[in-house]
């Protein structure tokens, strides 16, 4: 069966709406609640902490029938600058769905990075790019076989989280989150408020205030 290319109706988001999320860390987004789509922490950033490029962009989704990677190939002509390729390979660990050749092509197109619920390879090259972020569940040297199955731009499940085309993907050293357009619009004020509270906590502790004062804790009972 050939790869199916879907044409979903993706809710528009303005650059201003997206820009407000750019400084929000994944930890703050996830702390907003269960409606923020945390992706399984087992899908990890490729680079060590402090060296991982930040991932930020709207999702182009792919469902692979591993070891076939036909849907990834078809997505190369669909994805655009600033977007994120999200690959649902069902957690398949034995064959990589993408490596340096396809990732290099995506990077040249200005794609922000890839998220793979499955495996990647050529990580020595991928890990040296500061402008292209890679998150994956596995690393393996074995390449894919077959290129004629799968689907592009449909809802997928990646790391236990449903990701739809156009969802905002944010990734950093701590992990990944997928935000629907509705969440992008409705929860940004909450995220900004959390950032402001954290800034106030840091300032209060630096001023020598007690933890009880800074965090508004009730008085602790003293034992004997």
Q: Can you give the pLDDT at residue 220?
A: 79
Q: Can you give the pLDDT at residue 35?
A: 76
105-117 tens-digit pLDDT: 999 999 999 999 9
Q: Can you give the pLDDT at residue 90?
A: 97
Taking residues 81-100, what's their average pLDDT? 98
DSSP 94-161: SSEEE-HHHHHHHHHTT--EEEEEEEE--HHHHTT-TTSEEEEEEE-SPPP---S--EESS-EEETTE
Preceding amide of 172 cis, omega within 30: no
Six token digits for residue 65: 């029938």
Q: Can you give the pLDDT at residue 1?
A: 66
Residue 137 region by backbone torsions, left for phi larger than 0, else alpha for psi between -120 and 50, else beta? alpha
Q: What is the pLDDT of the chain when averaged over all its residues?
A: 96
Query: What is the distance between the alpha carbons of residues 156 and 63, in angstroms, rounded to a whole number?
Result: 7
Nearest to 166 by CA among 52, 33, 13: 13
136-185 tens-digit pLDDT: 999 999 999 999 999 999 999 999 999 999 999 999 999 999 999 999 99
pLDDT confidence bin for 39, thresholds 50/70/90:
very high
Q: Can you give the pLDDT at residue 34?
A: 77
Six token digits for residue 109: 């197109």
Six token digits for residue 164: 């739809």
Sign of CA dihedral 61, 30, 15, 173: negative
Taking residues 55-79, what's their average pLDDT? 97
Contact in structure between 46 and 136 (CB atoms under 8 Å): yes
Q: Can you give the pLDDT at residue 130?
A: 97
Q: Which residues pair with 158 in a beta bridge?
A: 161
Sign of CA dihedral 156, 172, 53, 140: negative
Nearest to 134 by CA among 150, 147, 122, 151: 122
Query: What is the distance between the alpha carbons of residues 179 and 17, in angstroms, rounded to a whole number?
Result: 12
> Percent of the chain beyond pLDDT 90?
93
204-223 tens-digit pLDDT: 999 999 999 999 988 777 77
Taking residues 35-49, what's their average pLDDT? 94
Contact in structure between 180 and 37 (CB atoms under 8 Å): yes
Query: What is the distance between the alpha carbons of residues 33 and 38, in angstroms, rounded to a whole number?
Result: 9
Is the pLDDT assigned to residue 224 strictly greater than 80? no
Query: What is the distance between the alpha carbons of residues 95 and 67, in angstroms, rounded to a whole number?
Result: 6
């Amino acid at each position: 069966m050939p790869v199916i290319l879907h044409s979903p109706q993706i809710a528009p988001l303005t650059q201003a709406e997206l820009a407000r999320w750019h400084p929000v860390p994944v930890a703050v987004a996830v702390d907003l609640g269960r409606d923020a789509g945390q992706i399984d922490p087992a899908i990890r950033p490729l680079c060590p902490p402090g060296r991982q490029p930040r991932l930020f962009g709207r999702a182009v989704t792919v469902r692979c029938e591993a070891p076939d990677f036909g849907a990834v190939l078809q997505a190369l002509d669909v994805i655009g600058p600033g977007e994120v390729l999200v690959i649902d390979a069902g957690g398949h660990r034995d064959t990589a769905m993408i490596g340096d050749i396809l990732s290099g092509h995506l990077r040249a197109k200005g794609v922000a990075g890839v998220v793979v619920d499955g495996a990647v390879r050529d990580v020595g090259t991928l890990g040296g790019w500061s402008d292209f972020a890679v998150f994956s569940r596995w690393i393996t040297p074995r390449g894919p076989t077959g290129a004629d199955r799968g689907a592009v731009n449909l809802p997928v499940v990646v790391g236990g989280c449903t990701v739809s085309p156009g969802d905002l993907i944010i990734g950093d050293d701590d992990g990944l989150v997928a935000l629907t357009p509705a969440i992008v619009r409705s929860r940004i004020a909450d995220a900004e408020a959390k950032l402001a509270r954290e800034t106030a906590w840091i300032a209060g502790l630096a001023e020598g205030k007690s933890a009880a004062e800074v965090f508004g804790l009730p008085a602790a009972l003293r034992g004997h």
